[in-house]
Structures are given as structure tokens and as C-alpha cells.
Amino acid sequence: MHKFGLILSLVFLFSSCQETKKIYIASHLTDCEGVAPQKCMLIKSRPSEDWTYFYDTIEGFNYEEGYSYELEVAVTRIENPPADGSSLQYSLLKILSKQKDQTVGQNMTHSTPIQQQEVSDIVYEASTRGSFFQVKINKDLIQKTKDRSLQKINSKTCSKQDWTTLLSLLETIPLEEINTLTPPTDKRATDAALHAKLKIITKTNTYTSIGFDHGNPPEKIKQLVNTMLSLVESIE
């Protein structure tokens, strides 16, 4: 009886340190900064969430770029992890789905997705009848102006890391759909908020969002907009 109780206690202790969860993995790797520059998978727990960097590995899982995955994994908490290591260990239980990303060319050897290669500028504008504000970012410059004529522009250099971050966020946004995203609020209709819009300019097209309240963009572009605004905070 004593031995049975000990076994039961050990089973309970192990199960309390482990959980089973479902995760989604994007079809491409992206540049990220860990202990050193590296390539990371992008994961999320629900289809509606934003992608996040995944710095760990999944035991038993062989990732193949060009395919998106839905996995069932076991997540075990590690007692006393190393200073530069994760406190969680991931193990593959089941591959629930594996789908080929049709946007990735079959002969493409570079790991950067096509959409990232084509983007030339990302523009955010907010205005009312008496105010104007524009942020324009490309791989070379981060620009900010309050001049509607776009004559007086302040700028700073766009770092490779900042541009890569923006492009990674763009990978979560279907460009053809940004003009259909529903704004969460409508204060701009009474001039209680600036009227904002987002433009993604590629080599062949310009994708413009529907208007939304400055400070409260649609959820799918919220992280991108907030990142752009944070990059211009240091520009006078």
C-alpha cells in the first residue's frame, strides 16, 4: 500500500509539471536574436493570435521549411534550468496537420518569403482637418513628419534588425485583406480621434487599409502599427 501511494505521488508530481497543448507553426523561419543571431520558428497557440518567436526546440519534431504545421506537444517545466536556457521542454506528441505553403517558390533557395522581398515602404498616416502625422519606413530610413506637404521630414537610419522585425510582422498579415479589416472603434467620425490608415507598398502594388482610429487599429495590424510608432519615438 505504501509503495502504491509512492508511485501515485510520483505520477501526480510528474503530471503537475507537464501539460499538453496545441501549437501552430509558420511555414518559414525568421531572423531573431538569442544569445547570438539565429533563425527562429514562428508559433502561436490559436489561429487568431499573432505569431511569436520560438527560441527552443521540439524534441522528436523535424521542421521542414515551406510547410505550416499544427502540432500537439507536451510541455514540461524544467527545475533549475541553466542561466541561458529555457525553463520549458517541448516534446512532439502528434502532427495534427502539415500543409505546403503555395506562396513559397519551389526553386527558391533563400529563406526569406516572397512577400518580404517585394515590400519597399510601409506608411502610416493619421490626420484630422487640423492635424497630420505620417511615418514612413523602408530598409534604409525611418521618417516622421507633421507637414502635409511632406517637405519638412525628420529621419533616422533604419537598422537591419528593425526592418527584419517589421517584415516578420508583415508575414502575419494577408495584404489583399487589409482593406477589409473592421476597425474596433469609430471615434474618428466625430473628430474624437485622428483618422488613420496603413499602406504597404511593394514593387508591383500598394495595399491600403480601411480607415481606423489612431491609437486603436484593427487587431491583425495592431502589432505592426505599434512597432512603427515606437520606432519614431526618438525622432524629434
68 SS3 class: strand
CA atoms within 13 A on the CB side of 11: 6
Cβ contact 203:122 at 8 Å: no
Supply the pTM of this predicted model.
0.53
Task: Tally Cβ neighbours within 10 Å of residue 8.
Answer: 10
Q: Work out the pLDDT band at 7, boundaries 50, 70, 90.
A: very low
In whole angstroms, how far apart are CA 191 and each of 68, 186, 188, 196? 43, 9, 5, 12
What pLDDT, in 10s, does the model give residues 162-210?
A: 999 999 888 888 888 888 888 999 888 888 889 999 999 988 888 899 8
Spell 77-99 as b/e; 16+ CB within 10 A means b.
eeeeeeeeeeeebbeebeeeeee
Q: Tens digit of pLDDT for each residue in 77-96?
A: 877 766 666 778 899 999 99
Grid cell listed for 183: 476597425
Please list, in sequence order, all residues whose beta carbon lies within 8 angstroms of the beta carbon of residue 31, skipping any fewer than 6 positions away.
Answer: 37, 38, 39, 40, 161, 164, 168
Residues written for the chain: 236
User: Residue 15's pLDDT is what?
Assistant: 47
* CB of 218 closer than 8 Å to CB of 209: yes
pLDDT for the residue numbered 85: 66
Among 149, 121, 114, which Cα is nearest to 135's? Answer: 121
- Give pLDDT, residue 146: 92
